[in-house]
Homo-oligomer: A and B are copies of this chain.
Amino acid sequence: MSVRKKIWGKNAERIAEALERLDPDLARYIQDFAYEEVMARPGLDLKTRELLAITALIALGNPGELKTHLRGALANGATEREVRETIIHSALFLGFPRALGAMKVFSELLARTDERGA
């Protein structure tokens, strides 16, 4: 299974098409280089890579991509607790506003998942 499939899950096709429409070259670099070359490297499991991605995206100010990797972490074996810890931990290095912003994004994502699950 491709790394994209593992991280994007059932949204994989939709995300790939949206990227393609946006810019085919940037889409190719993100898919072939970022996902299937760098993220696919051995030496660090996908769950850890996703927790690191979450930290990097908190540092960048919680852009839209944060949601993708919060979902990706859960889909690759991270527990809700581990994601919360990753966010709380980031407050030490990046300050409380960044951590608080990320916790809001995560909370919305969990709420929506619960609704659909119910």
By size class, the interface of chain A is 35 or more
**Is chain A's interface secondary structure helix, strand, loop, or mixed overall?**
helix
Any chain B CB within 8 A of the CB of A59? Answer: yes
Taking a contact as CB atoms under 8 Å apart, the answer to whether B25 and A88 are in contact is yes
- Copy total for this chain: 6
Taking a contact as CB atoms under 8 Å apart, the answer to whether B92 and A39 are in contact is yes
Smallest beta-carbon distance A50→chain B, Å: 10
**Contacts A39-B92, A91-B38; is A26 near B100 (CB within 8 Å)?**
yes
Any chain B CB within 8 A of the CB of A109? Answer: no
Taking a contact as CB atoms under 8 Å apart, the answer to whether A85 and B43 are in contact is yes
Task: Note all chain B residues with C-beta closer than 8 A to A59.
Answer: 55-56, 59-60, 94
